[in-house]
């Protein structure tokens, strides 16, 4: 029980900070969007000097650190659904910065999201990985990263001929996939750090993690700058946990209940969770959130 409490506290704390970081960064990015480029490095350069964006970045980094701490205590399959609740906190922070009240569908979506997370965790009952001491150089990690990299590259190329919400959705999907891989690599890097700094800097996942994180942030900022928050944040919020869970199960061999009844319940939980994400994403509050 204490392990669950530790993971829940760290995971939900991370979700609060990530939700705040997303909202502040999107407000700054929308004010400095570059409409004629699918991925603009100039946008990221402009944002570095923006106090609101820096505050959002600080909140996101703090959230990522708490998330890393949660991954150091619990498995990826356990932590990822908790991090999904960052969308709820983004909704609350957005509400605080706007005049639109929360509507009935906002509450329904929020309940669905939380209910889906709880249903998945209860039915799946994520447990310690079969190979808890998996090496950071596990070839499966490299294969998973390579597949995701190809998918993200295709999304970025396709986004060049799109604009508005479509471009934002494609770039957000790429960012979400990378963030899911980032969460998986974080668990490996935290494990390497526990064996000493020399093991950390000698491991390829550490450098892969840095590259994946930077690329994910770049895609996310451009997604935020291409359309309102509701076009990008929901996609990121849905893609990240699904990718992270796939990483945990496929790479680390984390275990869930496989009895048919429990498996159906876990799948239903994921479906309800994603449905909640979509409903919350269509919130009038998020829709009216338009820059500074």
Query: What residues contact residue 57 under an 8 Å CB cut-off, 6+ apart?
Result: 21, 25
For the chain, domain boundaries = 2-287
- Residue 111: helix, strand or coil by DSSP? helix
Residue 51 to residue 38: CA distance in whole angstroms: 24
Band the pLDDT of 2: cuts 50, 70, 90: low
In tens, the pLDDT along 180-209 reads 999 888 888 887 777 777 777 877 888 999
Structure tokens at 122: 């209860």
Which residues, including other chains, have CB under 8 Å from residue 236's CB and lie 6 or more apart? 22, 172, 173, 175, 176, 179, 220, 223
Residue 42's pLDDT is 56
Please report the pLDDT score of residue 177 as a whole number: 96
Determine the pLDDT at residue 32.
55
Q: pTM of the prediction?
A: 0.80
Planar angle of CA 39, 41, 42, nearest 5 degrees: 115
CB 93 within 8 A of CB 20: yes
Out of 21-25, 98-102, 120-124, 152-156, least confident range:
98-102
What's the pLDDT band for 133 if we cut at 50, 70, 90? very low
Both tokens assigned to 168: 């934002």
Whether pLDDT at 40 is above 60: no
Q: Hey, what long-range contacts does 189-194 have (CB within 8 A, 24 or more apart)?
A: 189/68, 189/136, 190/68, 190/71, 190/72, 191/72, 191/133, 191/136, 192/136, 194/72
pLDDT, averaged across the chain: 82
**Mind listing the pLDDT tens digit for each residue in 203-246?**
788 899 999 999 998 998 888 778 877 778 788 888 988 999 99
- DSSP per residue over 176-217, as a string? HHHHHHHHHHHHHHHHHHHT-HHHHHT-HHHHHHHHHHHHHH
* pLDDT score of 78: 87
């Amino acid at each position: 029980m204490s392990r669950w409490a530790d993971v829940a506290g760290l995971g939900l704390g991370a979700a609060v900070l990530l939700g705040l970081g997303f909202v502040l960064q999107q407000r700054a990015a929308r004010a400095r969007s570059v409409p004629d480029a699918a991925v603009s490095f100039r946008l990221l350069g402009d944002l570095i000097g923006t106090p609101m964006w820096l505050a959002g970045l600080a909140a996101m980094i703090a959230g990522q650190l708490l998330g890393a701490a949660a991954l150091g205590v619990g498995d990826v399959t356990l932590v990822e659904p908790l991090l999904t609740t960052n969308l709820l906190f983004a909704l609350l922070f957005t509400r605080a910065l706007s005049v639109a009240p929360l509507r009935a569908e906002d509450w329904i979506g929020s309940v669905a999201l939380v209910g889906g997370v709880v249903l998945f965790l209860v039915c799946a009952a994520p447990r310690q990985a079969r190979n808890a001491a998996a090496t950071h150089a596990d070839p499966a990690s490299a294969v998973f990263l390579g597949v995701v990299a190809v998918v993200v590259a295709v999304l970025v190329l396709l986004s060049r001929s799109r604009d508005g919400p479509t471009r934002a959705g494609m770039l957000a999907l790429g960012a979400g996939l990378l963030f899911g891989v980032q969460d998986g690599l974080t668990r490996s890097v935290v494990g390497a750090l526990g064996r000493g700094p020399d093991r950390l800097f000698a491991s390829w996942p550490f450098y892969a993690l840095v590259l994946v994180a930077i690329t994910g942030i770049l895609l996310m900022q451009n997604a935020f700058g291409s359309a309102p928050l509701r076009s990008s944040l929901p996609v990121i919020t849905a893609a990240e946990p699904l990718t992270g869970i796939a990483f945990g199960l496929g790479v680390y061999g984390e275990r869930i209940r496989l009895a048919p009844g429990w498996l159906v319940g876990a799948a239903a939980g994921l479906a309800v969770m994603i449905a909640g994400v979509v409903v919350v994403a269509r919130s009038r509050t998020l829709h009216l959130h338009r820059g500074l």
